[in-house]
Structure 1
Amino acid sequence: MRKKRVLLLSEGFGSGHTQAAYALAAGLRQLSPDVQTRVLELGKFLNPVLAPLIMSAYRKTVGKQPKLVGMMYRTNYKRSFNRFTQLAIHRIFYTQTEQVIQQLRPEIIICTHPGPNAAVARLKRLGLDIPLYTLITDYDAHGTWANTEVNHYLVSIPVVKTKLMARGIPPERIEVTSIPVHPQFWQSQDQAEARSELGLKNMPTVLIMGGGWGLMEEEDGFFTYMTKFRDKVQLIFCSGTNEKSRESMLADKRFVHPNIHVLGFTREISKLMDAADLLVTKPGGMTCTEGMSKGIPMLFYKPIPGQEEENLEYFVSSGFGEMMHSLGTIDRWFRQIQEPYSSGQHRQRLQSKSSQQYDPLECPTAVLRLMK
């Protein structure tokens, strides 16, 4: 009997969209051996020369002109892609999409980025007869996600469902499933055991992340300030794919210490979260959801104007984290994690809250149900 094929389409604008696609794919395979998945960053797959140039330009804009990114996000917030825009996107980036679909022959298509979502929606309007599901990977619903051809939306929280309904999407086609995380994050490991396996000391530990693109240049001195605690607090800096940032840190004497670890790209984020007492991160939808699944307290810094601001608002208002406004915020949290009883009690409360509000199996389970 042929396995059911699921095609997941994303784009590499940030890493969260593609991480969500891989997380959902892994969850589907974990729950059902009858499912075969394929994840593609569609624009990069179809345009291997042009796509990296576009991604690089976007990354530089985010780093150097975040206000411009925010202005573009807000200006088009209520607008979906009209038919002319869909046609333009198709001709520039997605001309071979139909051929890819015909070759892979999926039973369903799941999009985790508005670009492929618009491309497949256009093909459905022209006669493609394959169910299209859309997984929104943030805690907000930008207008570009909305397409009447989408068969079903999978969203993070009820507020996102309400926003889609306001854009004309029928409520029966929207399901609140949370954002999926990889099965590695479905359960937590004993903290001391995780530290031992990672070669870390069994002491108060802070994990500092900057998303898939790694730590950006610090304008506020927060990271450098954290090194003042290095004799009492273990610091793990994850620079992701930002090798320039990693090299800069390793060349700085303030970051050279037995209790400071500067990592590049790693697949051990789940275990690192288990080992840590505090997560310092940008409020990307995926990283925050992974942190919530682990029940780890989070400190947020430098949200990209737009969706990261919406993510920040949700996690702060829900009690899972706090904005890092000042050095005083760092002082307060770094003191707290040095008090084992207080720190342990706080994490237990977050883990209890997480188990009540977040079910990592909900999204893949919903997809399997829709496929029947």
Structure 2
Amino acid sequence: MSKKRVLILSEGFGNGHTQAGHALAAGIKKLYPDTKTKVMELGSFLNPIIAPWILSAYRVTVNTSPALVGMLYRKKYEKPVGRLTRLALHKMFYQHASQVIGQLKPDVIICTHPIPNAVIARLKASGLRVPLFTLITDYDAHGSWISPEVDQYLVSTPEVKELLLQRGVCPDAVRVTGIPVHPNFWSIQDKASARSELGIKQMPTVLVMGGGWGLLFKEELIDKLVAWRNRVQIVYCTGSNEKLAEKLRACPAMQHENITVIGHTQEVSKWMDASDILITKPGGMTCTEGLAKGIPMLFFESIPGQEEKNREYFVSHGFGMELSSPELIDQWFHSITEPSQSTLIYDKVSPLYQPDCCAKDVISLLRKPSVQAKLEYAYL
């Protein structure tokens, strides 16, 4: 097969969308090294001054008014991106996005966020002939993902496929690929060796993630966690939120040899391998990475909307439990310190989930005669 060019477009509303794009790009490069991939956050690239303000406002809303986020999600749940919104995006991005595509000449454009998806769909309605694949990065299908110009939907589960079919999407246009994770998550390392490489103790270990936006600093949760610090090793991963990391490190209750606070790290895969339990917000990417690693998950404070849907999927399929009360921590921590007495039983890995599937399917779709025919005339 001749060398292919894959352009992946995302936005920074939450880390998962862009993370999924980079994971897919890395998976494609691993399996098909000759393929050229490029990942871009479209808004940040085309509007580097305005985009940070919009993202900042979104973060503030998520932190201070999560109920509002949920209300808007539900209100627009069945609706595609509206005509006026598409027109506004068209005015903001049309010329620049069209120029970028013309310069890069991708064989396929894959969107991992509804905003660039709407922009490219509008370009296709105006004559762009490059195939558009839409990668839905959650375990739900909000109406904003759906556009008639999309050539192929890549979705997480058969349930999400069914949601699209109920909204009139052609069955042939939907493929269950799973959400892509970085190739680092395609295999599982022995716990003992992972702990040794990370320089932590050989003892029951809990990884706490999802604090990148400061949503995990809850005194009640911390008090319940540190009560186990003599029997359980606790690792807090705050991502890019250095203020939260400093706050945690300064907390007197956290001053213990069995408690570790880390910020941004490229070793999330290894930290998951080293851990027995993952406590996290149910973002689509983190949950999928946990699924790939076969680690039981406790879900903490879901943002209303897609995170609630993610949590419902993983709980209903036996991959974790909602942390509905701090007392559940006692039950779960007891299960890893006294496993012979534990009554908690969770499936390890979904038989339907293959972490390399999405990358393989993208390349196989590019080989389809119908896609090849479109590519022959895309840049004439």
CA contact (8 A) 1:154 1:175 kept: yes
1:309 paired with 2:304, answer no
Residues 62-87 of structure 1: CA deviation (Å, up to 9, x unaligned): 01100000011111111102333211
1:165 paired with 2:165, answer yes
**Aligned position for 1:367:** 362
**Aligned position for 2:245:** 246
Tell me the amino acid that sits aligned with residue 161 of structure 1.
K
Residues 20-70 of structure 1: CA deviation (Å, up to 9, x unaligned): 101111111111122110000000000111101111110111011000000
* Separation in 2, partners of 1:343, 1:109: 48
CA contact (8 A) 2:93 2:119 kept: no
CA contact (8 A) 2:94 2:123 kept: no
Tell me the amino acid that sits aligned with residue 167 of structure 1.
R
**Aligned position for 2:279:** 280
**Aligned position for 2:77:** 77
* Separation in 2, partners of 1:93, 1:74: 27
1:202-221 → structure 2 map (5 Å cutoff): 202-210=202-210, 213-216=212-215, 218-219=217-218, 221=220
* Separation in 2, partners of 1:202, 1:345: 22
Give the CA deviation at 1:328: 1.3
**Aligned position for 1:180:** 180
1:1-372 → structure 2 map (5 Å cutoff): 3-93=3-93, 95-210=95-210, 213-216=212-215, 218-219=217-218, 221-341=220-340, 346=345, 350-351=347-348, 353-354=349-350, 356-372=351-367
* Separation in 2, partners of 1:345, 1:182: 29
Give the CA deviation at 1:127: 0.4
**Aligned position for 2:370:** none
Tell me the amino acid that sits aligned with residue 357 of structure 2.
E
CA contact (8 A) 1:209 1:215 kept: no
Give the CA deviation at 1:340: 4.4
Tell me the amino acid that sits aligned with residue 34 of structure 2.
D
Give the CA deviation at 1:156: 0.4
Tell me the amino acid that sits aligned with residue 362 of structure 1.
C
Three-state SS of the structure 1 residue aligned to 2:227 is helix
Tell me the amino acid that sits aligned with residue 227 of structure 1.
V
Unmatched segments (≥5 aa) in structure 1 = none
Three-state SS of the structure 2 residue aligned to 1:7 is strand
Question: 310-319 or 215-224: which moved more?
Answer: 215-224
CA contact (8 A) 1:216 1:245 kept: no
Residues 139-190 of structure 1: CA deviation (Å, up to 9, x unaligned): 0000000001000000001111111112221111001111011000000001
Structure 1 residues 16 and 319: CA distance shift in structure 2, 3 A? same
Structure 1 residues 157 and 342: CA distance shift in structure 2, 3 A? farther
CA contact (8 A) 1:215 1:240 kept: no
Unmatched segments (≥5 aa) in structure 2 = 368-380
* Separation in 2, partners of 1:24, 1:344: 37
CA contact (8 A) 2:279 2:298 kept: yes
CA contact (8 A) 1:205 1:277 kept: yes
* Separation in 1, partners of 2:267, 2:340: 27
Three-state SS of the structure 1 residue aligned to 2:175 is strand
* Separation in 1, partners of 2:104, 2:340: 54
Structure 1 residues 53 and 78: CA distance shift in structure 2, 3 A? same
* Separation in 2, partners of 1:341, 1:366: 42
Structure 1 residues 123 and 4: CA distance shift in structure 2, 3 A? same
| TM-score normalized with structure 2 length | 0.93
| TM-score normalized with structure 1 length | 0.95
* Separation in 2, partners of 1:340, 1:94: 58
* Separation in 2, partners of 1:247, 1:69: 28
Say what the alpha-carbon RMSD is for the aligned residues: 1.7
Give the CA deviation at 1:223: 2.3
Structure 1 residues 241 and 343: CA distance shift in structure 2, 3 A? farther
